[in-house]
Amino acid sequence: MRAVIQRVSRASVEVDGKPVSEIEAGLLVLLGVETDDGPEDLEYLVQKTLNLRIFEDLEGKFNRSLLDAGGEILVVSQFTLYGDCRKGRRPSFTRAAPPEIAEPAYERFAARAREMGVTARTGVFGAMMDVSLVNRGPVTMLLDSKKEF
């Protein structure tokens, strides 16, 4: 499982020009699910995301997590995080999980965040979405449950 995590002042998702979800200060999480991801991958990524200390303390140092800061989270499914661009000019997505595997994992990620006390909103799985954000910092982190990077 992979995630691009962006610390935001606000973020939103629209589908067909209609608002679907929005958050204020917190994290936008672009989430990709791999074919062989299991419950341990999901739990690792949820814990890492919510506990990652990328919010400033009173001294301006990255010492606070989303849980500490009390921010919200917007989770957007993005299978293209498993796009392999090493050969040719068209990415291969063979490592990306099919929808019947990816959608429940995506929904479970948001549910686990809620269970941990975070306001979690989602995009629309499989839809063509317009994602807007104001990246605060900017701060952008890459996470991979298999620690490939």
Residues designated catalytic? 78-80
Instruction: Output DSSP code: residue 11.
Output: E
Bridge partners of residue 72, in order along the sequence: 26
Between the alpha carbon of residue 84 and those of residues 91, 94, 117, 123, the distances in Å are 5, 8, 35, 24
Distance CA 22, CA 107 (A): 17
Beta-carbon-side half-sphere exposure of residue 103 (alpha carbons within 13 Å): 7
User: Tokens at residue 36, please?
Assistant: 């062989």
